[in-house]
Every structure is written in C-alpha cells, then in structure tokens.
A and B are shown apart, each in its own frame.
Chain A
Amino acid sequence: MTIQTIFDVCVSVTLSLLLVAIFNDDQILNLLIILGQGHFLISYLYTHKAGKMNSLFRKKFFGLGFIVLGICLYVFKHQEHLNLLAFFTGVLFIFHYYNDELKIQGIKRYRFFVLGSLASMLAFSGVYANKLFNFSSPLLYILSIASLLVFFYFSYLAVGIRKNIGNNAFVYVLFFTFLNWAIPTLLISIPSVSVYQIFGFIILFHYFRWYIYYANIFKDTREPLYFYLKTIFNIHFLLIALYVQHVLMKYSTYLVFIFNPIFFYGWTIMHILLSVRKNDY
C-alpha cells in the first residue's frame, strides 16, 4: 500500500463520511442519484473512447435495458416492492464495488477472489435486510457468521498466493475484505444509522475512488486531464440543472426516468452488469 493509496482512500472516506453526515436521508438519496448518473455517463463515455462500445456491447445494453425497464415499470406500479429492488441493487452493488476496488488497487486477480465479494455481499445483505425490512430474526446472525466463515476460507486461500501478489496487496485484500464483514455486522447493532447513510457512504466512496483513480492516471498528461476534468464538470453541471428542473416541474416529466429512485436502481443494475470484466475471473 503506497502513500498515494493511503491518501486517496483517506480523501474518499473523509468526503463520503462528511456528505452522509451533513445530509438527511432524502438528500443523500438525491445526491447519490445525481452523482450516480454522472458516474454512469462518464463510464459509458470512456468505454466508448476506449473503443469498447462495439456491436456486442450495444446488444447487451438494449437487451438488458428492456428487461430492467420492465422490472422498474412493474415496481413503479407496485411500490410495495421498492425496498426489495433497493435490497437487490444494494447487494449487487457490493459485488461491483468490491471488484472495482481491487482493480483500482491494481491487484492481480485470482478466481477465488469471488469468495471475497461473496463474504462482503453476505455481510451487507444482513445489514440491508435489517434496515430495509426491520428484519431481526436469527437468520441475520447466520448471514453474518456465514460471511465470516467465507472470509476465513478466503484468507486461507489468499495465504497461498501471498508471494505472487506481494505483501502489500495481500494485506490490503485481507484488510479490505475484513472491513466489508466487520462494518456491516457492527452497523446492525446501531439502529440510529439509516440504510441511506450506509448506501450513501459505500456508493460515494466508490465514486470518489474512481474519480481520483482516473485523475491520477491523467495527471501527467495535459490534454487528457483537461478533457477529463472538463467532462466531469459539464456532466454534473447538466445533471444538477436537470434535477432542479425535475423538481420545479413537480416530478412529472421524462426526467422521472433519470431521477426517480426506482429507475435509478435500474440504471445502477445496468451499469453493474455491463461493467463486469472477464479478466477479473
């Protein structure tokens, strides 16, 4: 773990904690939607710049889009399923954020790393079930114990590849996976922490990590850095303006497909499934 990594993680953690501390649940959700749509747009733009938006990608995009749109429209009509959609999206996001964090760290991937994401998903599904559905049955603790067991097995396998990936990467992977078990498990016993604060922190951390990651890549190259910073500004300027218009027009226009939480969960699912990298497995 280099000084740069520690600095980047600290900045991301601090900004994320600050934002979830100062805003209420509704504001956190709106912030996640605005920054989230920005994150998706930048992701698609750079996928296109890398020449990866080929015919196969487009087929996946539209095919998945139809299915996800159908699900969102169904939930839009039957809002009693909203929390279920939020739960599913939140857990799927943990898989995405775990794998992306390892990619940002530049850690060489092994197949069994999927156990790390599984341990994280199990732990977070417990805290999400607790917060979203007021779930407090013993199953909650079974999830936490299962997550811990998967973590132990993951650690056992990780010891075997320590020399291949180096001590720094080994420590980071174990510590990161451990935190992904410990923090959600701890949060179950803190009722004052809302699910939006948990979503908010994890998601904002993920956004900031990516922005800082690319800024580091471009920082020594003038033109790409300028284009990158300008694009981030332009996208968020547009999204904030559109959001304000959405509010002023009383949430009754096409912008509902961008800013309504249900459709935002749909866009999130699409982004996660379209950004799965074959090389990670």
Chain B
Amino acid sequence: MTTNNIHFKKILTTWTDPTFISKLFFSFGFFTLSLIINYYAVRYATVNAGEPIGDLILNILPKIDTTFIHEKLASILQTITALILVCNPKLINFTLRAVGVLVLTRAVFINLTFLGLPQDSVPLQSFYTYGGDLFFSGHVALAFMIALIFWNIPKIKYLYLIISLGMGIEVLVGHYHYSIDVFAAPFITYGIFILSKKLFKEDAYALEKDTRELR
C-alpha cells in the first residue's frame, strides 16, 4: 500500500469514527456560538465607537481600496483552510475550539475600549464585522492562529505566516485598522493558543502528535 493510500485510509478512519463525530458536533457548536456572540459584540462596539485617533503608520500610508482582499480573498482563504482541515481531520476539533476562544476573546477586547474608526475608513459590514471592531485585527489573528496550529508542518506554517503578514499590510493600507491592532494581534493570538492548549489538553495532545506525524 502506498503512503498516499495509507494516509487516505487514516483520514477515512477518523471521519467514520463515531467518537470523533460526536466530539466534532460539540466543537462546531462551540465555534458557531462564538460567531454568534461576536455578531452582537461587533455591533455593540461599532455603535459605541468613539472619535478617530492619530496613528503613525496610517498617517504615512495612503489609503488604497483593498475591499476585494478584505472580503473575497478572506472568504477564499476560509475555504482553503476548511479543505486543509478536511484532509487532516484529527486537527479539526482543536482548531475549531482554539479559533472559538480567539473569537470570544476578541469579542471582549473590542468592547473594552471604544476606539473610533480610523480617519477615512469605509467600514465593511457583514455577519463577522461591523467596522468598529478594531483591537485586535481578526484577519491577522486568524491566519496567525492557523500558522500556530500547523507549526510542525512547514509548508502550511509558512503559507499562513505569509498570509498573516499580508493581511496585516492589507488592513493598514485599506485603513481598516490602527497599527496597534495589527502589531498586537500575533502576541495576543499566541497567548490564546497556549491557553487553548491548556483548556483542551486531549485535543492539543492529538494536535502535537498528528502534526509531527504529518511533517
């Protein structure tokens, strides 16, 4: 049996394991719940947003319309991430839970201080964002979190590190975020990743074991 066949068989075995499926229901539910809480949090933050404040980098960078990257490319990346996870199902539970914790933490942070939207910012409004949800950048944080999850698989790690960096540049150039939102995101995300590993020990162990096997 070839290596690919063995890997495919392992994927199929995981997807057909009733215990895994039962756990996945909870993880997906937790993740969806975090999105629902985020929905109300971003709207509350935007409604209460204060005045714009000065920013060293935004003052230098001219505003460029990056709507396509901010919206469409982000959706494409979500799909690619989902496909990667479908092919590595043992990582799904930890990923959904860690991302859920990230979203919940951000939902709290964006409402601790009511930052005003950056000058000349055109807020994009969707289920996930409403414009006034600033500190910290979700686009940067999410990509960095995926990079941390796949840290033991160099190709995926570097891909998402580049995406995270690219998102950071994009949101600054598009004047969607202040520079502190972007620069703080990786540090906060790392803290949430470590916290998630402690909260979800069993899934974190599976993450460590399986990403080393996949290397």
In this assembly, does A5 line the interface, its C-beta being within 8 Å of a C-beta of chain B? no
Q: Which of B30-53 contact A (CB under 8 A)?
A: 32-33, 35-36, 39
Given the complex, which residues of B lie within 8 Å of A227, measured CB to CB? Answer: 18-19, 22
Q: Which of B5-27 contact A (CB under 8 A)?
A: 16, 18-19, 21-23, 25-26
In this assembly, does B29 line the interface, its C-beta being within 8 Å of a C-beta of chain A? yes
A233 closest partner in B (C-beta): B26
- Residues of B contacting A: mostly: helix
Give Cα distance in the complex from A235 to B28, angstroms.
Answer: 10
Given the complex, which residues of A lie within 8 Å of B205, measured CB to CB? Answer: none
In this assembly, does A222 line the interface, its C-beta being within 8 Å of a C-beta of chain B? no
In this assembly, does B158 line the interface, its C-beta being within 8 Å of a C-beta of chain A? no
In this assembly, does B127 line the interface, its C-beta being within 8 Å of a C-beta of chain A? yes
Given the complex, which residues of B lie within 8 Å of A248, measured CB to CB? Answer: 36, 39, 127
Given the complex, which residues of A lie within 8 Å of B29, measured CB to CB? Answer: 234, 237-242
Contact: A49 with B39, CB < 8 Å? no
Q: Which of A19-73 contact B (CB under 8 A)?
A: 41, 45, 48-49
CB distance from A149 to the nearest CB of B (A): 46
Given the complex, which residues of B lie within 8 Å of A241, measured CB to CB? Answer: 29, 32-33, 36
Please tell me which one of the listed residues B18, B19, B26, B32 contacts residue A242 in the complex, with CB atoms under 8 A apart. B32
In this assembly, does A230 line the interface, its C-beta being within 8 Å of a C-beta of chain B? yes
Contact: A245 with B32, CB < 8 Å? yes
Given the complex, which residues of A lie within 8 Å of B26, measured CB to CB? Answer: 233-234, 237-238
Give Cα distance in the complex from A237 to B26, angstroms.
Answer: 7
CB distance from B140 to the nearest CB of A (A): 24
Contact: B127 with A235, CB < 8 Å? no
In this assembly, does A249 line the interface, its C-beta being within 8 Å of a C-beta of chain B? yes
CB distance from A36 to the nearest CB of B (A): 16
Given the complex, which residues of A lie within 8 Å of B18, measured CB to CB? Answer: 45, 48-49, 227, 231
Q: Which of A221-266 contact B (CB under 8 A)?
A: 227, 230-231, 233-235, 237-242, 244-245, 248-249
Given the complex, which residues of B lie within 8 Å of A238, measured CB to CB? Answer: 25-26, 28-29, 32
Give Cα distance in the complex from A234 to B19, angstroms.
Answer: 11
B35 closest partner in A (C-beta): A245
Contact: A244 with B36, CB < 8 Å? yes
A-binding residues in B (CB < 8 A) = 16, 18-19, 21-23, 25-26, 28-29, 32-33, 35-36, 39, 127
Q: Which 3 A-B pairs have the closest CB atoms?
A: A238-B29, A234-B25, A241-B32
9 A-B interface contacts by CB (under 8 A): A41-B25, A45-B18, A227-B19, A230-B22, A233-B26, A238-B26, A241-B32, A242-B32, A244-B32
